[in-house]
Amino acid sequence: MINISDMYKIYRMGDNDINALNGIDTPTSGEYFIDGLKVNGLNDSQLADIRNKKIGFIFQGFNLLQKLSALENVELPLVYQGAPAKERYERSLRALKAVGLEDRIHHKPSELSGGQQQRVAIARALASDPPLILADEPTGNLDSKSGKEIMALLHELHGKGNTIVLITHDNGIAMQAKRVVRIQDGMITEDRKVV
């Protein structure tokens, strides 16, 4: 799914160079492939197309639009893809059912618990059926019970064939993965399979 060779990205901030891996931008050096497509040299439009079709994003802060229902939040990426209304509805409903929220499709984020909001965010990531899901601290804003439920859901999705890259500072969460890559100061310090 992801193939990276000698890749790094340098961001200029004043007089300082900041080295960071990024799944959205083109690298400063090295090679970067997503689902067999080389990212190096792509323009902004092509990168947006990759984000829209190849990557589902799950954020720590949920990033739901407060004025939209759960269903409308999940449909939003499909609107950008140009999917017809009926298809958007069916795919969004299927994604919300997959995360156990079929009875909350008309609720707005303020009417949902933190765990339910994160489930909506996961459904939004799933609706476009991306081969890659990037989850940035998906349990960081949740209580421990909701966090366990979200991790169980991510394990289930992985078992169904989704590639999931999960970023976390929580060692307990990291140890649930099949592979752990630790990054410190922009450099890989550990890369191992977990048994």
Domains and CATH numbers, the chain: 1-41 (no CATH), 43-193 (3.40.50.300)
Q: How many CB atoms lie within 10 A of CB 140?
A: 16
pLDDT given for residue 30 in this prediction: 81
Per-residue pLDDT tens over the stretch 115-162? 999 989 999 998 988 888 889 888 888 888 888 888 998 898 899 888
Q: What is the rounded average pLDDT for all residues in the chain?
A: 86
pLDDT for 92-126, tens place per residue?
A: 999 999 888 999 999 999 999 999 999 899 999 98
Beta partners for residue 187, in sequence order: 184
